[in-house]
Amino acid sequence: MKSQIMYIEHKSDQNDRGNAWIGQVDFSKSGQTVYFNNLAFKKMKGTHYAYSEYSNYYDLEHRQAYWISGIKKNGQDRHWAGGGKIKIDRKIISEYLNLVEFEELDDMQFEIVDIEKTDKSKFYDLENSLTQ
């Protein structure tokens, strides 16, 4: 699958105020794993009692819950009950602004950061050991 600009929010014990990012993610061939910011997120299947009902992925290494979704055209990606600045990757700002049809970023809502591309090979053995 090709890469895509997505919204990623840490959900574990964060009360909708966890760290959040907008950046370019890569997908596994199956689309069940998302790679972002040197982390690998596995899509949840079924009921996971240890994770927030508002999460749909978990971090393979640390077993933390995350919400990952496409970006909203209105720029309101945070959960309505949450808050905090969203970190946005400097490399995708122009493309993001085109997608949401904004002229500029609101510096009260966003923090510009540099996000590294994930080395997917580091997760190969970990991910395959989980499926056996």
Tens place of pLDDT per residue across the chain (132 aa) = 689 999 999 987 777 788 999 999 999 888 889 999 999 999 887 655 455 566 789 999 998 989 999 999 988 898 777 788 999 999 999 999 999 989 999 999 999 999 988 988 888 777 666 654
Residue linked to tokens 């077993």: 63
Number of other CB atoms surrounding residue 95 within 10 Å: 12
Exposure string of 55-90, with b = 16+ CB inside 10 Å and e = fewer, is bbbbebeeebbbbbeebeeebebbbeebeeebbbbe
The Cα 96–Cα 75 span in angstroms is 10
pLDDT for the residue numbered 43: 86
The residues that bridge with 66 in the sheet, in sequence order, are: 10, 57
pLDDT for the residue numbered 90: 97
pLDDT for the residue numbered 25: 96
Decide: helix, strand or coil at residue 105.
coil
Pick the closest to residue 40 from 113, 116, 119 (CA basis): 119
How do the domains of the chain map onto residue ranges? 4-130
Which residues are CB-contacts of 74 (< 8 A; sequence separation ≥ 6)?
A: 100
